[in-house]
Amino acid sequence: MDSNLRDRITLAIKGSKADFTDIRLEFIETTSVAYRGDKLEDYLTGRDVGGIVRALVGGSWGMSSFNNLAGLEDRVSEAYACALAAPEGNVRLAEAEPVVDVVRVGITRDFRQVDLAAKQELVKGYSNTIRSQPAIQDAMVSFRDRYSDVYYANSEGAFVFQERPYAVLGLTAIARDGAAVERASDSIACGFDYGLAEGRDDIALEVSARAKELLTSETIKGGRYPVILSPRMAGLFVHEAFGHLSESDFLADNPEAQKMMTLGRRFGEGFLNITDGGGSTAGLRGTLKYDDEGVPTAETHLVREGTLVGRLHSRETAGKMEEKPTGNARATFYRYPPIVRMTNTCIKPGPHRFDDMISDIELGIYAKIGGGGQTFLENFSFASGGSYMIRNGEVAELVKDVNFGGNLFTTLANIDAIADDFTWLAGGSSCGKGQEMMLPVGMGAPHVRVQDVLIGGRS
């Protein structure tokens, strides 16, 4: 932590004429190593330095973001001038205790201590492993890391310095047979421990075998099925199907949406519990002591015993809805002001056993490995890169092109069993929202069974 810089930030804020002012500066170092087949595709390092000033005047924001850190006072004046260009607004910040803290994260093995050439050897090794497997035409393996020092200060006296380490090892195998091309991917988050990226031939072999198996798999038949989601799929499911609807920025100015999401509304069975929290578990993708407004990241209960009990807030949305901030104001980096985002979202363990959940399914889907997902308010989709038919109570053959769709209200109500085998997702999960892509988030769940899930497919 650079105390001269801290003094400069504090001084610049003191000169502001706005009702509220904050400054966030970020210093980012990145490295990226990627192989495609036997070819080194990326081998690069980068430095990204910048900041953003927010000034609140008469209920409207003015902001200034920049790469040149000289003249912070001018940026504060510019943010103030921007706020004056806006008409009178309705933004009001909820109270938050001004925190002063310097947060150093505990890292087991620091990826910054590993030189570029060693990362290259690691990535190359996995690419070779994948390509040596039968039916494999191509491999894409990457290791990308990003280390940020983030300074945050506001006109109420808060000052927070945080380190944020992110790293992801990604592996993709591409199998080919004539015109048929299939791919299978997986990833491991290793920002808090580079060791997690080493010795992972198990993943390289799994993606290779799955890509090959997909070549001879049938496309799923479209329709409605009972689905058992593996913990990693259920994590993605809760993020897409419920998490985004608990982000209050879509509620704060929409009275009809607030009615739809009234606290106390019943969403599911009594064994359904959903939480979000950046501070509750160490070493996850969304783990963070303070959000980008310097608010501690508490654990927030969203659904308790099937009933909606909470939602995620920034100071702005909490202020508008007269609730408490939850520490969910996050920005991917300095170019953006913080908006309401998830941290680590999970479905808590339930009372059921996996064996019992599957045994009475005559025809269904076991969704084992995740893909991407997207939410359009109450409608969502999430893809699976590895799903199996369930036939007569047992996991059967792999099927391809599996993409689940659903509606928030009906889908959560259709969860009829939750297992006791909770795990956090180990992969490099990220979330995009609005203009911002790739914010690291954590997801976790046990096995979850959902009835009557719509799956697109052949007729």
Interacting residues with other proteins between 78 and 107 (CB under 8 A):
78-79, 82-83, 85-87, 89-91
The interface with other proteins within residues 265-294 (CB under 8 A) comprises none
Q: Which two tokens stand for residue 355?
A: 């064996």
Q: Which residue in 58, 199, 223, 270 binds other proteins (CB under 8 A)?
A: 223
Cα first-last separation, the chain? 60
State the nearest-atom distance from the C-beta of 146 to other proteins, in Å. Answer: 12
Near other proteins by CB under 8 A: residue from 11, 117, 263, 396: 117
- Is residue 450 within 8 A of residue 415, CB to CB? The reply is yes
Nearer to other proteins, 75 or 449 (CB): 75
The size of the chain, in residues, is 459
CB 61 within 8 A of CB 86: yes
> Contacting other proteins (CB under 8 A), which of 48, 198, 323, 436?
48
Q: How far is the CB of 229 from other proteins (least distance, A)?
A: 16
Stretch that binds other proteins, among 247-255, 301-309, 354-362, 418-426 (CB under 8 A): 247-255
Figure out which of the listed residues 62, 243, 310, 325 binds other proteins, where binding follows CB under 8 A. 62
Cβ atoms of 172 and 37 closer than 8 Å: no
Distance CA 441, CA 428 (A): 8
Stretch that binds other proteins, among 45-53, 96-104, 144-152, 274-282 (CB under 8 A): 45-53
> In terms of CB distance, is 362 or 376 closer to other proteins?
376
Give min distance, CB of 254 to other proteins, in A: 5
One residue of 103, 257, 321, 395 binding other proteins per CB under 8 A: 257
Taking the least distance from each CB to other proteins, the nearer of 219 and 359 is 219
For CA atoms 230, 329, 333, 105, the dihedral sign is negative
C-alpha torsion sign, points 388, 391, 396, 399: negative
C-alpha 152/C-alpha 456 separation (Å) is: 46
Q: Which of 287, 381, 414, 429 binds other proteins (CB under 8 A)?
A: 381
Residue selected from 18, 23, 25, 64 as contacting other proteins according to rule CB under 8 A: 64
Tell me the per-residue interface mask from 177 to 216 with other proteins, x by CB under 8 A, - otherwise: --xxxxx------------------------------x--
Token pair of 60 as six digits: 């409207």
Extract the tokens encoding 425.
């997702």
Helix (H, G, I), strand (E, B) or coil at 426: coil
Give the containing element (helix H, strand E) for 292: none
> Distance between CA atoms of 183 and 174, rounded to whole angstroms?
4
Q: How far apart are CA 53 and CA 65, in angstroms?
A: 6
Window contacting other proteins (CB under 8 A); options: 39-47, 188-196, 386-394, 423-431: 39-47
Q: Residue 16: how many CB atoms within 10 A of its CB?
A: 21
Residues 236, 370 contacting (CB under 8 angstroms) = yes
Q: Which stretch binds other proteins (CB under 8 A): 13-21, 98-106, 249-257, 296-304?
A: 249-257
Q: How far is the CB of 441 from other proteins (least distance, A)?
A: 17
